[in-house]
Structure 1
Amino acid sequence: MDALYTAAATANGREGRAVSSDGRLDLALAMPEPLGGNGNGTNPEQLFAAGYAACFASAMANVGRQMKLDTKDVAVTAEVSLGKDDTGFGLAVVMRVELPDALVGETGRQLVEATHQFCPYSKATRGNIDVELVIE
């Protein structure tokens, strides 16, 4: 791969901080309350959800342009779940895509499927975690 951009961040665990190399991201990390933490910070699942949703929405704009579709009113929500699997812990994602009325139906389904093939986060997760696509 010919890297166009590289992001770097350092973290010291679920109860600490995450800081990007340029200092623009500097967040307190905390275990979520449902997992026994105090919830006084963000967590890796929230960070992954935000990144995946942003990437998917951006990828959809790109795919939409190629398909000559207007995607400006699309909203993407990534729900990232942490759970136990055969090897310890694992992730699963439900990707909720809100489409405007003009894109509901077969055209919208094709757009979402094509985006899932194109999105770098989707490529990275394919075969590694379950991703369910939900069109709303």
Structure 2
Amino acid sequence: MPTRTSSAVWNGDLKGGAGTVALGSGVFEGPYTYVSRFEDGSGTNPEELIAAAHAGCFSMFLANVLAGAGFTADSVRTSAAVTLGAGPKITGIALTVEASVPNLDADAFAGHVETAKAGCPVSAALSAVPMTVDATLV
């Protein structure tokens, strides 16, 4: 399996400094600052990038769990909200999932969601953080 890389540079002190983060693939590079991380300013932040990674991984993993059970998802849409609390520390992750899966009932879907929550590699890596999954079959 491949190893993925990303990088970051920070210049200056915490509140007055600024930095950039870049994905190793080259598809994204963006600025981040104290304001973009701890307040509501423009730019990205580590928590937003974690949320994107988690949403992408969970959608793929759930689609794979469904396929393993004989179901093909028309779509799996996941949004992730990563909360940064005092400390600072990540205090919670909330996944919201909407999936369109023909011929699947809600109870079976809920079971597959729990399997995905337990097996998604990013969920596993972030397991020290309280995590919720609100999943809807549409």
Do both share a fold (TM > 0.5)?
A: yes
Q: CA deviation at 1:9?
A: 1.5
Q: Report what 2:95 is aligned to.
A: 95
| Aligned residue identity for 2:4 | A
- CA contact 2:21–2:31 (8 Å) conserved in 1: yes
Say which of 50, 56, 70 aligns to 1:48: 50
Q: Structure 1, unaligned stretches of length 5 or more?
A: none
Taking the TM superposition and a 5 Å limit, the aligned residue runs for 1:1-136 are 4-13=1-10, 15-32=18-35, 35-36=38-39, 39-84=41-86, 88-91=87-90, 92-100=92-100, 102=102, 103=104, 105-126=106-127, 128-136=128-136
Q: TM-score, normalised by structure 1?
A: 0.81
Paired residues of 2:36 and 2:43 also in contact (CA < 8 A): no
Q: CA deviation at 1:24?
A: 3.2
Identity %: 27
TM-score scaled to structure 2, two decimals? 0.80
Deviation at 1:43, TM superposition (A): 1.0
How many residue pairs get matched?
128
Residue aligned with 2:75, SS? coil
Give the letter for the 2:48 counterpart: Q
Please give the root-mean-square deviation of Cα atoms over the aligned residues, in Å. Answer: 2.2
